[in-house]
Structure 1
């Protein structure tokens, strides 16, 4: 997967003809609320790489807080996943899911979200270090950018050498600028949307992919 992969999320089952719009599609299992076998049938013939997410409600999701309930949403679908995403806050509780994903050859992304601000550098670097210690393959950090200084700090984080892959993005008034700048700095996954945005500062995925190709 390239460092400038265009990424979009789906809250409904979309036609695979949209595959040319992005490199990877995120399926938000917490919003789809479909039984695993029904979802599997709906995806028959899909060739688009899939990242599966069952997001914790404290970080913008609609899945239960109970880690076992979210694991039960992810684990039956590991065979169709290219990646899975779970919150860093859940990495200890969901070690069983991480190990099952690893056994299935599915990399795990650990997410950290702050919808109000960009926390101190110690917190940002701590999230990366914790993801590494938890045995994750990549870490995704999404924060709200209140100032250009916040963006500069995320640029430095994305540009540093880490022992695992890093996806970094901003939300808010600096969000759109950040998605391009941070991709150029080496951010692994760069999220856009089809239909309606689910975070302030996202680009439509087709436009994002076009812009990333020009960087």
Structure 2
């Protein structure tokens, strides 16, 4: 049996950090029609969570348009837990977006209460993180604090420090995703995950080794303590995502005992 989080997060009937690792499918769409078509298709696949990568939406700078799309998305997915993610270019975002505009978008999404979880990056300054954490907390929205490295895999102690930093800054869930250059890097990520779960973190965590080399982390990361993995819907949001049916089948073999 895999080790569970000491402080699991509950969103509706979904438990993050409980006995089972969960599967999230991202939505990456340029317009409202594409977004809702993807959502309808993904709903039939029954993921545990859905993530909207709103930085891929061409109307993201127009807040009323963004909120209308968000409201329509909620109507399609019903009670599925929804993660709202809007990254700027410095964080791997998909289009130019100022920090000020991005903050307004995130705060508006939180205030709409159409989302369940918001994901922001640890590289933001303390004032930004404090503001989003406060807004999320006051509206009952859970917070993921993330760290991404799309070029390499840092040392195990660095990964562990990032996960601990997220917890220290008030995250409900800590996330690290890194790029491997070989299988040793994947072991580094999994080793940090195991240490975080067994020694350092009380909150749920998400750890991912990206690209083809890191595929095993998406399937087996839950055995080491990662609580959510990401599968491919109709469009990928990160290198190495595979279709949900294939991921679910692989995980059923690992977690059926």
Same fold, judged at TM 0.5 (above): yes
**Cα distance, 1:62 vs structure 2:** 2.9
Kindly indicate whether residue 37 of structure 2 is the aligned counterpart of residue 5 of structure 1: no
Aligned length: 215
CA distance in 2, matches of 1:105, 1:60: 27
CA distance in 2, matches of 1:18, 1:198: 14
Note closer, same or farther for the CA distance 1:45–1:198 as it changes in structure 2 (3 Å cut). closer
Note closer, same or farther for the CA distance 1:91–1:53 as it changes in structure 2 (3 Å cut). farther
Whether contact under 8 Å (1:67, 1:94) holds in the other structure is no
- Counterpart pick for 2:72 among 28, 39, 42: 42
SS at match of 1:194: coil
Query: 1:18 aligns to what?
Result: 42
SS at match of 1:100: helix
Query: 2:236 aligns to what?
Result: 197
Query: 2:87 aligns to what?
Result: 55
Kindly indicate whether residue 186 of structure 2 is the aligned counterpart of residue 186 of structure 1: no
**Cα distance, 1:84 vs structure 2:** 0.8
Kindly indicate whether residue 111 of structure 2 is the aligned counterpart of residue 81 of structure 1: no
CA distance in 2, matches of 1:40, 1:149: 40
Structure 2 unaligned runs (5+)?
A: 1-14, 30-34, 60-64
CA distance in 1, matches of 2:174, 2:90: 18
**Cα distance, 1:124 vs structure 2:** 0.9
Kindly indicate whether residue 130 of structure 2 is the aligned counterpart of residue 95 of structure 1: yes
- Counterpart pick for 1:168 among 178, 194, 207: 207
TM-score normalized by structure 1?
0.90
**Cα distance, 1:99 vs structure 2:** 0.7
Kindly indicate whether residue 103 of structure 2 is the aligned counterpart of residue 71 of structure 1: yes
CA distance in 1, matches of 2:101, 2:168: 24
Whether contact under 8 Å (1:175, 1:200) holds in the other structure is no
Tell me which moved more, 143-152 or 35-44: 35-44
Note closer, same or farther for the CA distance 1:145–1:169 as it changes in structure 2 (3 Å cut). same
RMSD across aligned positions (CA): 2.0
TM-score normalized by structure 2?
0.76
CA distance in 1, matches of 2:97, 2:57: 17
Kindly indicate whether residue 192 of structure 2 is the aligned counterpart of residue 157 of structure 1: yes
Query: 2:179 aligns to what?
Result: 144
Tell me which moved more, 46-55 or 200-209: 200-209
